Amino acid sequence: MQYVWFIWSLIILALWVVIYLSKKGVRKEMLKMSLITMPFGLTEPLFVPEYWLPPSLFDLAEKTSFDIESLIFSFAIGGIGTVLYNLIFKQRLDEISNTERGHYRHRLHLYILFIPVIVFIFLTFFTTLNHIYCGIIALLIGGLATLYCRPDLKGKIWVGGILFTVLYFIYFGSILLFYPRYVELYWNLDDLTHILVLGIPIEELLFAFTFGMYWSGLYEHLYWRKLIQTEIIIPLKD
């Protein structure tokens, strides 16, 4: 099982590449958000070994708590989580006008963007929660705060969370098909809820949902974009 984490990080990266190459219209969003997400892979020492301790390339996780796989994984999910909803529901982006930006809801624009980081840091230093729960709560509050500032994104935020959870469930489940004891061996289940959904820790699915919530609307929120339904032209019959 030495290379499971590495192989599956490459699998999710391969999905990113397929989307990037096949969907020209979302390349800019994918790349920007992936580059923003990638550094979060450097937070892995907060989760290793407190949350899990997977075998990693060159045994880096065991030796240093850092690993290459987390950077690859973070890069991939950042881009995928950003565009998944838009691709499925045929949405394109348009710039928000300066007039719209002046709406009172946007007065807290900058502060709301940083809410997940602030909440995570607070929970990390002032509670004894496992860091995975700090992350889940921070992402959830970030998603809800985004709803205040950008109520026009409510559909994308909620549905985006569900879509990413479904994708993540399939992704994680594929690991267990080949390595059924992977969770049992490498997750610190004694410090978690012990709730498994078809073998997948509930914490993983909660992370997927809250990440999907927050990240699905982050590009639009950060870069002042709104969703526009792509026109579907139906040819008339003679």
- Its pTM stands at 0.92
Nearest to 12 by CA among 57, 72, 68: 72
One pLDDT digit (tens) per residue for the chain, 238 residues: 789 999 999 999 999 999 999 999 999 999 999 999 999 999 999 999 999 999 999 998 889 999 999 999 999 999 999 999 999 999 989 998 888 887 777 788 888 999 999 999 999 999 999 999 999 999 999 999 999 989 999 999 999 999 999 999 999 999 999 999 999 999 999 999 999 999 999 999 999 999 999 999 999 999 989 998 875 544 445 4
State how far the alpha carbon of 151 is from the alpha carbons of 142, 144, 223, 228, in Å. 13, 10, 16, 15
Whether 235 maps to a domain, the answer reads no
| Alpha carbons within 13 A on the beta-carbon side of 74 | 15
Whether 234 maps to a domain, the answer reads no
Residue count of the chain, please give it. 238
Whether 237 maps to a domain, the answer reads no
CA angle 226, 155, 160 (to 5 degrees): 95
Type of residue numbered 172: F
Q: Residue 99 belongs to what domain range?
A: 4-226
| Alpha carbons within 13 A on the beta-carbon side of 67 | 30
Total number of domains in the chain: 1
Whether 42 maps to a domain, the answer reads yes
Whether 102 maps to a domain, the answer reads yes
Please identify which residue in the block is written with the tokens 């998944």: 84
Containing 93, the helix (H) or strand (E) segment is strand 91-95
Whether 89 maps to a domain, the answer reads yes
Q: Over 173-197, what HEC string results?
A: HHHHHHCCCHHHHHECHHHCCCCEE
Whether 213 maps to a domain, the answer reads yes
Residue 48 region by backbone torsions, left for phi larger than 0, else alpha for psi between -120 and 50, else beta: beta
Whether 232 maps to a domain, the answer reads no
